[in-house]
Chains A and B, each alone.
Chain A
């Protein structure tokens, strides 16, 4: 497809500012679409004279028999012998896709001695588990896991693959997609089926969270995407559910893995396990100085929650990046999110807007964060937070 300007263009310039990619220039009194165009079609809708059209290009014939690709797969990332929440969250979403497509849902378990986790995968809704176990696969490695995953795809031909957009998921996904020559939509926050085509419609934030884009992968298989953690709720486990374990022998040899994991340093405490937290207390530049993070930490401790930080607070060096919530940090979806001294820049909102309840504390009544908070307190953090902490302590004790 290509987006073209026809000779009906009246040069009104209505299309120029709506292009999210700056790909329209006015040239000789007509709109000119430049190479930056991604065919999103935003300009087509605003053209008052219908002079911008989408032209179907001759399709390149691909040697892909799309009908051979069927099921929906979810990659189950395992850390320290436990499945990461995001894998289970995606089984819930994968179930919906598989049901809509009339196909099976399978979990992909790669590791060493991970068969026992199959019950969790079935309990979250999978019909089958593809299980690859080998000592070489005990820890994640780009080479070992890419080779294993690609081998599974080539043999069993899934139509759709969902991976968590974790650091390892975002390391593995592109490598696998590139090896099998398909598309990968990154960091999705919405999944559905495109009614017109029956394809998976992958929706994701772009431009720092300012816009959402829905992406399709029409001619290539499998359709792949990484999905941000905590966007979807984990399904209630039903351990009465059973499924089929498809055990596949590993072909990976130690020599195939070009990286060597020398050491794992875990500096994370409960306070920075943001993805799995039910309550998060986050602080921003409004705290005024790094020492004031103690108010955030005290409240988080009383509530048994995690500590988050805005990009501004992380950039200022007040908290390590591990605590950062937002488009370039972590995505979170707790039951309650406290935003304290956070103005509410769009890139922060992109990381926490799926929280159930948002409570904002800020001294500026015009802070954008109040526009999306369920409850907002206008006030001085150093006064409000200690009282809030004290009151929650009383509630807990009572």
Chain B
């Protein structure tokens, strides 16, 4: 089974802070990590390989330092990794990113399944997986928590708001993976880490792909960021501090009643 996983290197957004004086993002000291949902996708890929044999290839589009993210995936057990990096890709929105990734996937050749994390924690768009599927003209199943394959038919549990659906799809397909106990990412082994450190990661530039220049990067991106600002804050209300819980609750209820909320 040929398995491709697309991953993104992201700033750890849980470590990002806002400067209270300037009201801007403080990025210093914020580590770059493999997008957490993508690690669930890597785990799913490794489990598929263990069950059905084959090869796991990891792709990432990003700046040169995204190699670190790819090395982490190799350390977890992926067989090969390729970085897609070129100044021409800078400023890509989801449409241009998925266009570029689809071109790289075509260059890789045959595949059975392409996995993504459900979304990246910096942009949270959840669009690149489905848009890649569209560029490649193949089926997609999003928000998957479990994948089983018989011959070339995948049976997938797909999360929805009230529970889950069981969906069958003939491969090849794009599947996006949620955070789930089924695919709790494994830790890299020492041996895997050493191997990953030695690995040479090929870099594909725009010249290596069959792409139209006007569909890359900023030029190929229909959406543009007009402005960035920090979210408006709600105003702090009353803080009730009493000697006993009963007094505190009584005080709250009085206030709610005065404000005609209860």
Q: Which residues of A are interface residues toward B (Cβ below 8 A)?
A: 1-2, 17-20, 22, 34-42, 57, 60, 142-143, 146, 166-168, 170-171, 173-175, 177-179, 181-187, 194, 201, 205-220, 258-268, 272-273, 275, 317, 321-322, 327-328, 330, 336, 345-347, 349-350, 353, 357-359, 365, 370-380, 383-384, 387-388, 391, 395
Give 11 A-B pairs besides A34-B63, A258-B169, A346-B16 with Cβ atoms closer than 8 angstroms: A20-B24, A178-B131, A182-B95, A186-B123, A213-B228, A217-B224, A261-B165, A263-B165, A268-B162, A350-B231, A387-B245
Contacting pair B231 A212 (CB below 8 A): yes
Residues in A neighbouring B207, C-beta threshold 8 A: none
CB distance from A159 to the nearest CB of B (A): 14
A18-B226 in contact (CB<8A): no
Chain A residue, CB-CB nearest to B131? A178
Q: Is the CB of B255 within 8 A of A375?
A: yes
> In the complex the two chains form, is A273's CB within 8 Å of B134's CB?
no
Residues in A neighbouring B11, C-beta threshold 8 A: 22, 207
Which residues of A have CB within 8 Å of B24?
Answer: 17-18, 20, 42
Tell me which of B41-49, B52-60, B103-111, B135-143 binds A. Answer: B135-143
Nearest CB of A to B67, in Å: 14
Whether A142 and B140, one on each chain, are in contact in the complex, defined by CB atoms closer than 8 angstroms, is yes
- The answer to whether A259 and B91 have CB atoms under 8 Å apart is no
Q: Pick the most buried of B90, B168, B223, B240: most chain A CB atoms within 10 A of its CB.
A: B223
Contact partners of A184 in chain B: CB under 8 A: 94-95, 125, 127, 223
A212 to B165, CA, bound (A): 33
CB distance from A351 to the nearest CB of B (A): 11
A20 in contact with B167 (CB, 8 Å): no
Q: Could you say which of A60, A267, A387 has the most chain B C-beta atoms within 10 Å of its C-beta?
A: A387
Q: Let me know if A210 and B18 touch, CB within 8 A.
A: yes
Given A168-B160, A179-B134, residue A208 in contact with residue B121 (CB < 8 A): yes
Interface of A is mostly: mixed
Interchain residue pairs with CB less than 8 A apart (22)? A17-B24, A19-B27, A22-B27, A35-B86, A35-B87, A35-B90, A39-B225, A60-B219, A171-B143, A174-B128, A184-B94, A186-B125, A208-B16, A215-B225, A262-B167, A263-B165, A322-B163, A347-B13, A371-B233, A375-B238, A377-B252, A387-B246
- A123 CA to B243 CA in the complex, in Å? 52
Bound complex: CA of A23 vs CA of B137, how far in Å?
33
Closest A residue to B156 by beta carbon equals: A259
Near A by CB (< 8 A), chain B positions 144-191 give 155, 158-170, 173, 178-181
Interface pair A171/B229, CB less than 8 Å apart: no
Q: Is the CB of B230 within 8 A of A212?
A: yes
Question: Do A327 and B124 contact each other (CB < 8 Å), given the known contacts A37-B90, A265-B166?
Answer: yes
* Cβ-defined contact, A185 with B165, below 8 A: no
CA–CA, A213 and B261, complex, Å = 33
User: Measured between alpha carbons, how far is A387 from B131 in the docked complex, in Å?
Assistant: 51
Tell me if B28 and A17 are in contact (CB < 8 A): yes
Of all chain B residues, the one with the shortest Cβ separation from A182 is B222
How far apart sit A266 and B163, CA to CA, in the bound complex (Å)? 4
Q: Across the interface, which residues of B come within 8 angstroms of A1, CB to CB?
A: 218, 224
Contact B139 A143 (CB under 8 A): yes
Are A39 and B91 in contact, with the CB atoms below 8 A? Answer: yes
Q: Does B248 reach chain A (CB closer than 8 Å)?
A: yes
Q: Point out the residues of chain A lying under 8 angstroms from B240, CB to CB.
A: 375-378
Q: For the complex, give the distance between the alpha carbons of A206 and B98 in Å.
A: 19
CA distance A214 to B135 in the complex (A): 26
Shortest beta-carbon distance, A84 to chain B, in Å? 9
Considering the complex, give the chain A residue whose CB is closest to the CB of B222: A183
Asked if residues A17 and B248 are in contact (CB atoms below 8 Å), the reply is no
CA distance A323 to B217 in the complex (A): 37
Contact with A along B5-16 (1 / 0, CB 8 A): 000000101101
Rounded to whole angstroms, the CA-CA distance of A22 and B9 in the bound complex is 13
Q: Are the C-beta atoms of B228 and A260 separated by less than 8 Å? A: no
**Interfacial chain B residues near A22, Cβ < 8 Å:** 11, 27
The answer to whether A209 touches B231 (Cβ under 8 A) is yes
> A residues within 8 A CB of B21?
none
When chains A and B are docked, how far (Å) is the Cα of A170 from the Cα of B196?
Answer: 35
* Cβ of B179 to closest chain A Cβ, rounded Å: 7
**Given A35-B89, A171-B140: A383 and B241 within 8 A (CB)?**
no
Q: Is B51 in the interface zone, CB < 8 Å from A?
A: no
- Partner of A259 from the list B94, B127, B168, B226 (CB cut-off 8 Å) is B168
Q: Does any Cβ of A come within 8 Å of B199's Cβ?
A: no
A216 to B89, CA, bound (A): 20
Expressed in whole angstroms, the minimum distance between the Cβ of A173 and any Cβ of chain B is 7
CA distance A374 to B222 in the complex (A): 40
A349 to B232, CA, bound (A): 11
* Complex CA–CA separation, A60 to B61 (angstroms): 24
A175-B140, A260-B168 known; A213+B225 contact, CB < 8 A: yes
Q: Does B214 contact A (CB under 8 A)?
A: yes
CB distance from A102 to the nearest CB of B (A): 22
Picked from B155, B226, B236, the residue with its CB within 8 Å of the CB of A371 is: B236
With both beta carbons as reference points, the residue of chain A lying nearest to B27 in the complex is identified as A22
Whether A170 lies near B139 (C-beta < 8 A) is: no
CB–CB A201/B167 < 8 A: no
Q: Is B122 positioned at the interface, with any CB of A under 8 Å from its CB?
A: yes
User: In the complex, are the beta carbons of B140 and A206 less than 8 A apart?
Assistant: no
Q: Kindly list chain A residues whose C-beta atoms are within 8 Å of the C-beta of B255.
A: 375
Residues of A within 8 A of B218 (CB): 1-2, 39, 57
B211 contacts partner chain A, Cβ-Cβ < 8 Å: no
For A34, the closest partner residue in chain B by CB is: B63
Chain A residue at minimal CB-CB distance from B257: A395
For the complex, what is the distance from the CA of A36 to the CA of B89, rounded to whole Å? 9
> Taking the complex as formed, is B38 at the interface, i.e. its CB lies under 8 A from any CB of chain A?
no
With contact pairs A1-B218, A17-B28, A178-B131 given, residues A212 and B224 touching in the complex (Cβ less than 8 Å) = no
